[in-house]
Chains A and B, each alone.
Chain A
């Protein structure tokens, strides 16, 4: 049966199991929208800005592990998706972004709403396609989804000209796809795995350093089992939070710039770092020349370019982290005697770590008069569901969430780690809530970032997405203010938000409910009331204005040179 290109595109999405897309209409996607009008298998959510639509598709992908799909028109619609695409690219999130394009004969003519979106997004996509012919749609989409989700995942952009949407063609979806230049290595090399286990069992001060790859690769379970079997302490990056339960004795919490003292001390004193799906980001390593000076490093990653990019590696293993960890476990179980000797040999290491944990735990000074942001985070953890999904924006509240929320399950923290995108939290929560209508979804924001996509309140109300929006309001761009306080002599250049906003009225204006807490004694009741509401809610907390995120490794300092109190 012949159908037009727009319809073929929707049939492709259906074949890929896409149930929800986030899109914004416009001149070059009007044909797609016309087909969507009666296409019941795909639920379309209309955000109020294409950037938010892309973040929502990203949040959907982070929460579910499936490919998120965003749709935008050509020109400004397409350029509005760029921040969303770059955010997903930096955190390796599987996404397909479909952009309308002017008709093929007009491409290159500076036509109305024409932009070279493939050129603009080339450095922040895993790959991109321009569909020039209706007969290429199905194969292109098959490739796009395959590339987005396999290997190290990432966003793939498909530029879809209007005349191709209108052209008639047959629809045949390919069963399989073969891309000769793209063969991700998924199985770890058996000899390397054997060597890795032997190296670990010879060490005395081992630590597992776990990144977002462990979450994306579905490796939480083998990771937890391996850590417990060998009794190796685990520290995670911001992106790795949830891959290993923070409630576990072996958890050191997050490492790096605002990481736990014990985690950074463990890295610095370790003789064996097992890096799992992590990329030795500068926020994690501190000064490279003094990073982990005594450690041998085993690096497991599906992306060979992550290995030896920033630090020397003694043993690289390229492969799917889940597969590699499972095989390491099998290998370790073969040598039970060595494992027993190894765990005995690490006793003094565990004692060191316990000492560091006790000496400088992640903490804050409670107040009876002013709301401390850390207290709000702790209360949120206490009062929220076990499987609640938390998204954040970027800044102080993000670090407090990472330090105090205590994540125990993978895919329960959605945060922009690599790009550090303000305005991510609210739309990402929207995407997660669309995927899981019955789970509690909370976005924790500052008063800066929440403004960047506040228009999505309308989308939440319209689509009955009951996201709970927590605003930690210090009327500052707090993280930059903190740097100005510590490193720029308190010159608060443009970081004070000046105009206070009435978020309760704002919630009301969008048809949502708003709650405000100004005293510590009101925190619990506001959270309880907010969680009780069936619809979307803003919970605003007026917090201590100049509270800092601590501890802190100043930029360029060594990991063990932490500012603990300032």
Chain B
């Protein structure tokens, strides 16, 4: 089962490598990982999408907490969070395909961010399933390049992660 976990960490030397070492050393899987600083000085937030049953997830949580640099682990498996991902997609577009690409972009409320006579580059944002769906439609037209950020997630409601 797929899980999205947010990890609040000290923005210290080597922290990414500690988390990555933990996952690889214990045989946990990382589907995607994104890291950037937060609004609080000295703290970064990692969003990790991983796979595993309840027992594996419990171990991942506990093992993450065991790292000295980890302040908080938020497990967003129960739908309590909003997830978004950004994708930059370069797609071949000539002749009839140009109009088709534009239609798809419109339906998904994506944006064209670069144009050449032979291609469009698209910026699409949404939950990962939406990104999968737009890719599904664009793939037959000829995907030239794809960059995905991996999921980021934030809890629903008025409260921040620490209250």
Please report A residues at the B interface, Cβ cutoff 8 Å.
118-119, 122-123, 126-128, 130, 147, 179-182, 303-305, 308-309
Contacts and interface: CB of A to CB of B under 8 A. Distances in A.
A122 B18 contact: yes
B67 interface: yes
Interface string B81-105: 0000000000000000000000000
A303 B55 CA distance: 16
Nearest to A129: B13
B25 to A, nearest CB: 5
Contact of B21 (A122, A305, A309): A122
A181 B59 contact: no
18 contacts: A122-B18, A123-B21, A123-B25, A128-B14, A130-B13, A147-B68, A180-B10, A181-B67, A181-B70, A182-B68, A303-B66, A304-B62, A304-B65, A305-B59, A305-B63, A305-B66, A308-B59, A309-B59
| Residue with the highest number of chain B CB atoms closer than 10 Å, among A147, A305, A308 | A305
A130 B66 CA distance: 20
Contacts of A127: 68
Nearest to B58: A308
A76 to B, nearest CB: 22
Interface of B: 9-10, 13-14, 17-18, 21, 25, 55, 58-59, 62-63, 65-71
Nearest to A156: B68
Nearest to A130: B13
Contacts of A181: 9-10, 67-71
Contacts of A309: 59
A303 B10 CA distance: 21
B70 A118 contact: no
B54 to A, nearest CB: 10
Contacts of B14: 118, 122, 128, 130
Given A119-B17, A130-B13, A308-B55, A180 B71 contact: yes
A246 B57 CA distance: 39
B68 A179 contact: yes
A181 B69 CA distance: 5
A117 to B, nearest CB: 12
Contacts of B71: 180-181
B62 A305 contact: yes
A303 B68 CA distance: 13
Contacts of B63: 305
A31 to B, nearest CB: 23
A181 B11 CA distance: 12
A104 to B, nearest CB: 12
Contacts of B9: 181
Nearest to B69: A181
Contacts of B10: 180-181
A126 B66 CA distance: 9
B67 A122 contact: no
- The 4 nearest A-B residue pairs measured at CB: A305-B62, A181-B71, A127-B68, A182-B68
Given A181-B71, A182-B68, A305-B63, A122 B17 contact: yes
Given A130-B13, A180-B10, 17 more contacts: A122-B14, A122-B18, A122-B21, A123-B21, A123-B25, A127-B68, A128-B14, A130-B14, A181-B9, A181-B69, A181-B71, A182-B68, A303-B66, A304-B62, A305-B66, A308-B55, A308-B58
A147 B68 CA distance: 9
